[in-house]
Structures are given as C-alpha cells and as structure tokens.
Amino acid sequence: MSGQAGQFIASGWDSFTTLRFGGNPAAVVIGAEGYTDGWYRGMAAELNPTSETAFLLMSQSPHVDMRVRYFTRTTEVPFCGHATLAAAYAWQRFVSPSAAFPTRCTFETSVGTVPLRLNWEGGLLGSVTMQQRTPELAGPVRDVETVARILGITRSDLNENLPVQAVSTGLWALMVPLRSHDVLSGLQPRFDDMAAYSVNSAVSGLQVFVLDRPEGKAWCAHVRNFGPAVGIREDPVTGSAGGALGAFLASNLLGATGHLDLHISQGTEMGRGGEMAVEVRTGVDGTMTVTVTGSAVQVWEGRLV
C-alpha cells in the first residue's frame, strides 16, 4: 500500500474486552507510509484523541509481518499493549486472508520484535497473545511519600509488603501497590505533579493496583493506570503495564524460579471495564518470559482521504 489519498484503511477497536464501548479504544491505520511525526500525531489526535493510534507500516525485515509505530495526540510512544492487540486484529481483518486462519504474526516496534499468537475459536479470532520484552526491573523507590502525595493519598495507604518499583517489558511504568480497593477507587491524583515526576523518573506513568488471591485461584489485580506525561490522564486498560505488573509480582512474590498466572481487571472507574490474562514463566537461568492475552472488538472502519 502507498500513502495516496483514499488508500489509508482506518479502523477502531476496543481492546481487552469482548463488548463494544468497553476496554481501551485504539485506532489502527494501515498504509500511511512516509509521513512526518507531526502528521502522525495529528492523525492520532483526529482518530483517537484520548489514547494511542497504531500505524501499521511496511517493514524492510523479511522476518516480520509489519512495522508498527504508536502515537498519541502529543507524542510517539515506543510500545503500546492495547494498540498492539488492536493492530493484530486489524492485520488479520485487512491484511492477512481470513480463510488462512493465521496463528502467528510478528510486529517490528521501536523496542524490538513482538511475536503474537492468534487464538481461534469456532472460526473466529477469539483472542491474541503477545509476548512482551524480557523484563527490566529498577531498584525500589525510596521516597514513597512523594509517590503517595501525587496520588492524593498518604504513605499508610500503600501496601508496604511490596515495593514501589519501576518495571519495563517494553515501556517503563512505576508499580504502586495499595492496601485496599477503597483507596484505589477514591484516588484524586495531582496530574501536573505526576507528569513532572514521571518525566524526571523516566517512566510513562503509574500502574496503581490492589492485589488479591481468592482461595484456590490465580492471583488477581485490580488496576488503575495514569499517564499524564504522555497525554493520557487515565488509561482504561493498559497491556504494556499489565505485563510489567506480572513481572513485578513474579519477582517480588515468587523469587527467581517462580511461575505466575495473573488476572487483571481495569477501567471500571472510567465506565470502560476490561481484563487481560498475564503469564510469567521463569527459566532455570532466571530469565522471565511474559505474555499478555486479551480480546478486541471492532467498532468502526473506513478509508481516510
């Protein structure tokens, strides 16, 4: 495809949900080759002003299916989980022949290649599993009072059984454990202070969560994600930070050889509830493999002129 008028296929998806108007909205544009960053930001602002837009582009590498760039209305981000999920659905819908029922595809991103598994259910694409980058974990944050203050809470509201810690599986986010659901739902962040803190700490935002483990079941986390530094005050469901949270919990709860299955729910405070499944598998050498699985539903499609 070329970047000629009428050749851009655009579509809108709600990620990490099976219900329209739930989860996290993402726009996907196919065929917009060779434009400036300002053009991509402008198009992202037009199509999806509250979240990310993924641009599926041709790649020079024979080992990947397409290249992906992610933009918000204000900036380019190196990786975005929910937009990757939407891009995989759009790739299957518009680029790959549907009759072939592809089970694998690979995207090239700014943080490296992202392998994806397409999970079919009765002839329909039921979910997509993305393998995120090998996790990186920074040291625990010492000044937790500042973190509490920018969230509008006190240190006593933090779950001090876990550290406050920055983690990346492609995009750095600060993991902030809280002690109760009431504290999480009642957060009143100081967004200007949070944006400055995020920039100074080199994180995209704060992944704030409460952890539960119902008897006999997998770990569960309810999450809120705040990213004012990248133009998103609150994100409904955040795939990149979801994978990072899985790595954080595996490292801090289970040690060097732990395997973790985690169910994440997010977005209910925004009226856009969604969920994802995170798996962390740790090899004998201590290397973690993190995958995130979720569904998406198409909301709209069209051609840009």
The rounded distance, in Å, linking the Cα atoms of 279 and 220 is 12
Four-residue CA torsion sign, 124, 2, 115, 16 = negative
- For the question of residue 52 being annotated catalytic, the response is yes
| Alpha-helical segments (H) within the chain | 37-47, 81-90, 144-150, 181-185, 191-201, 239-249
β-partners of residue 227 are: 232
Angstrom CA distances, 122 to 24, 100, 101, 126, 264, stand at 25, 14, 11, 8, 25
Q: Is 245 left (phi over 0), alpha (psi -120 to 50) or beta?
A: alpha
Q: Which of 52, 108, 234, 279 is catalytic?
A: 52
Query: So which residues are the catalytic ones?
Result: 52
